[in-house]
Chains A and B, each alone.
Chain A
Amino acid sequence: MQTNGDEPLKVVPVRHFSRWLAAVVVGILVAMTAHTLVSRIPTGEQICRTVVDGAGHHVRRCHEALQWRFSWDVVGRYLADFNIIKGLGMTLVLTVLTMVIGITLGALVAIMRLSSSRLLSGPAWLFTWFFRGTPVYVQLLFWFNIAAIFPTLDIGIPFGPAVWHIDAVNLFTPFTAALVALGLNEGAYMSEIVRGGIVAVDEGQVEAANSLGLTRFQTLKLVVLPQAMRVIIPPTGNEVISMLKTSSLASAVAVVEVLKAAQNIYSATYEVIPLLIVASLWYLLVTTILSIGQYYVERHFSKGSLRTVPLTPRQRLARDIQGVAGKFRTQRGVRV
């Protein structure tokens, strides 16, 4: 602390007027939003009842019926609806499977892309170029309709006799079409993410591994990829969360995921907004859970790159509480 001779000087904190103003504006906006969320609107119907007034006459008293602007009662009714939950299951399955395909394919394409052989890096570049360059929605429709140009699919010797053949119509169900379309598209994005991670690893690491006699594959597996993970994980977390929502496109090819399930209900009941809210609430919940998971995975892979591993939110809370308690105690003159 600064002192003026023996006297300690008084510290006057900086006043942040603009910060206060901003807080007031934001506060008002939050209050307005909250008010809208819980507001009620007239249904257009009258609720009437007959009452006896002071003079003993029977009088009809009417008032307008009100309902939640956002039909929370309807939202509550459908939130745990069997078909919605089933749709949610499909959304999760689609997300997990397409991400597995995307990450595997992405890693493969990234490694090919970094190969010194043009025969490998060329096609890898082409793959990424194509699948990133066209809308995923178009790709989805494409795979859904592929049976039209490949009525049958033969598996056998290339350009030679077929060993096994299947009808494409049977192979490309809405589900597989969605899986292939979303998986390939994700593979293109993941390949760029994985490549970025690999390139970020210092070349010296590879040389050190080589000088120990590790094979190329061992070097990749034991030295490069674990370090690339630190760079790969955060954007991959974003990709998972993004895929969770992109999978709703599959509703366009009649895969009954959570959005399609909601649509199926509102096409019969016309309760469009409440059911869209139901679907949104589920997306929000899963996204929240995924974000928490992402935090811990990132923390795990930051090992070695940071001098100290960041605290978990729980540890941070514990530290803050202790800190406050400590201050409190010292203020009351108790030594800690």
Chain B
Amino acid sequence: MSQPMIEASGVRKSFGALEVLRGVDLVVNRGDVACLIGPSGSGKSTFLRCINHLEQHDAGRLTVDGQLVGYEQRGTALYELNDRQICAERSQIGMVFQRFNLFAHLTALENVTLGPINVRGETPTSARERAMELLRSVGLADKAQNYPSQLSGGQQQRVAIARALAMEPKLMLFDEPTSALDPELVGEVLDAMKQLALNGMTMVVVTHEMGFAREVANQLFFLDEGVVQESGHPRDVLVNPKTDRLSNFLSKVL
């Protein structure tokens, strides 16, 4: 078996006195679609943000593709990475946010080309070509010249997915990508994500869409009180929850 894409053991994170992550253990393999579920405030976003170092975890071991996040191990010492190295790590991990976070001053096309041109050093021409290709694949070729404020939520989120994919990431993180959408727009975003999963992308998805979890994911993690309480294949976990916490939670969201 090849190296796991994400390996977390005993990951801890506090904000001041509030301990949000209290030793998260999980493994996500290459090509997995892992869903992370749990009550609000259980630390799902925090854990996701630790994976691409938007937050720095305090303790435990967290690796992406065999590399420690934010540190380099030489012998028995850990060396903190400098800004440039952290940026290089991040550029290989795509992230999609609940509130889209498209760059408001750039068109859809410019949103998608910003990373490739400035981080990967692509020429504007080739970046634009690839961006158009990606926008076409999420069904938005005709919206390339629109500014985010001129797009619906579902369209914005699909542009955000295209923007992340333009960096050709090895891993995609989704933080409640459909929670800010009107119900009738949820489907189009989930479809785009489904397509991505079919193409073999490794994905970690924080979501309350149990339908998506059941249909697309092959791994489910239930996070509560800062630890992974239950994990396994969604078919098993969702049907036969072993803990009261999970059955309580499921009775609320299903």
A contact set with B: CB distance below 8 Å: 202, 204-205, 207-216, 218, 222-223, 226-227, 230, 303-307
Instruction: Given A210-B54, A222-B114, check contact A304 B105 (CB 8 Å).
Output: yes
Interface assignment of B81: CB less than 8 Å from any CB of chain A:
no
State the CA gap A226–B84 with chains docked (Å). 23
B contact set with A: CB distance below 8 Å: 52, 54, 83-84, 87-95, 97, 99, 101-107, 114-115, 118-119, 147-150, 160, 163-164, 167
* Across-interface contacts of B148 in A (CB, < 8 A): 304
Which of B92, B93, B105 meets A303, CB within 8 Å? Answer: B105
* Across-interface contacts of A306 in B (CB, < 8 A): 149
State the CA gap A208–B96 with chains docked (Å). 8
What is the distance, in angstroms, from B152's C-beta to the closest C-beta of chain A? 12
* Chain A residue with Cβ nearest B95: A211
Asked whether B90 lies within 8 Å of A305 as measured between CB atoms, the reply is: no
Asked whether B149 lies within 8 Å of A205 as measured between CB atoms, the reply is: no
Asked whether A214 lies within 8 Å of B54 as measured between CB atoms, the reply is: no
Instruction: Given A215-B83, A216-B83, A218-B118, check contact A207 B101 (CB 8 Å).
Output: yes
Asked whether A205 lies within 8 Å of B94 as measured between CB atoms, the reply is: no
Asked whether B88 lies within 8 Å of A213 as measured between CB atoms, the reply is: yes
Asked whether B84 lies within 8 Å of A208 as measured between CB atoms, the reply is: no
Which of B91, B149, B164, B167 meets A305, CB within 8 Å? Answer: B149
* Chain A residue with Cβ nearest B88: A213
State the CA gap A230–B104 with chains docked (Å). 11
What is the distance, in angstroms, from B182's C-beta to the closest C-beta of chain A? 18
* Across-interface contacts of B147 in A (CB, < 8 A): 303-304
What is the distance, in angstroms, from B84's C-beta to the closest C-beta of chain A? 7
State the CA gap A211–B52 with chains docked (Å). 7
Asked whether A304 lies within 8 Å of B52 as measured between CB atoms, the reply is: no
* Chain B residue with Cβ nearest A228: B105
State the CA gap A303–B148 with chains docked (Å). 11
* Chain B residue with Cβ nearest A208: B101
* Across-interface contacts of B99 in A (CB, < 8 A): 204
State the CA gap A226–B52 with chains docked (Å). 25
State the CA gap A75–B148 with chains docked (Å). 54
Instruction: Given A210-B54, A307-B150, check contact A215 B90 (CB 8 Å).
Output: no
Asked whether B115 lies within 8 Å of A212 as measured between CB atoms, the reply is: yes
Asked whether B104 lies within 8 Å of A207 as measured between CB atoms, the reply is: no
What is the distance, in angstroms, from A9's C-beta to the closest C-beta of chain B? 40
Closest A-B pairs by Cβ, 4 of them: A213-B91, A204-B101, A208-B101, A212-B115
State the CA gap A303–B106 with chains docked (Å). 8
Which of A207, A222, A307 meets B149, CB within 8 Å? Answer: A307
Asked whether A211 lies within 8 Å of B87 as measured between CB atoms, the reply is: no
Instruction: Given A213-B91, A213-B167, A304-B148, check contact A205 B83 (CB 8 Å).
Output: no
* Chain B residue with Cβ nearest A215: B87
Asked whether A212 lies within 8 Å of B105 as measured between CB atoms, the reply is: no
State the CA gap A172–B60 with chains docked (Å). 60
Asked whether A213 lies within 8 Å of B97 as measured between CB atoms, the reply is: no
* Across-interface contacts of B167 in A (CB, < 8 A): 212-213
State the CA gap A306–B97 with chains docked (Å). 22
What is the distance, in angstroms, from A47's C-beta to the closest C-beta of chain B? 68
Instruction: Given A208-B102, A222-B118, A304-B106, check contact A213 B149 (CB 8 Å).
Output: no
* Across-interface contacts of B107 in A (CB, < 8 A): 304
Asked whether A213 lies within 8 Å of B105 as measured between CB atoms, the reply is: no
* Across-interface contacts of A230 in B (CB, < 8 A): 105
Known: A212-B91, A305-B104. 15 other contacts (CB 8 A): A202-B104, A205-B101, A205-B104, A208-B97, A208-B101, A208-B163, A212-B167, A213-B89, A213-B90, A214-B87, A214-B118, A216-B83, A304-B107, A304-B149, A305-B149
State the CA gap A303–B103 with chains docked (Å). 12
**Residue in B84, B91, B101 whose Cβ sees the most chain A Cβ within 10 Å:** B101
Instruction: Given A222-B114, A305-B149, check contact A214 B119 (CB 8 Å).
Output: yes
Which of A207, A214, A227, A303 meets B115, CB within 8 Å? Answer: A214
* Across-interface contacts of B87 in A (CB, < 8 A): 210, 213-215
* Across-interface contacts of A212 in B (CB, < 8 A): 90-91, 114-115, 119, 163-164, 167
Asked whether B118 lies within 8 Å of A205 as measured between CB atoms, the reply is: no
**Residue in B94, B119, B164 whose Cβ sees the most chain A Cβ within 10 Å:** B119
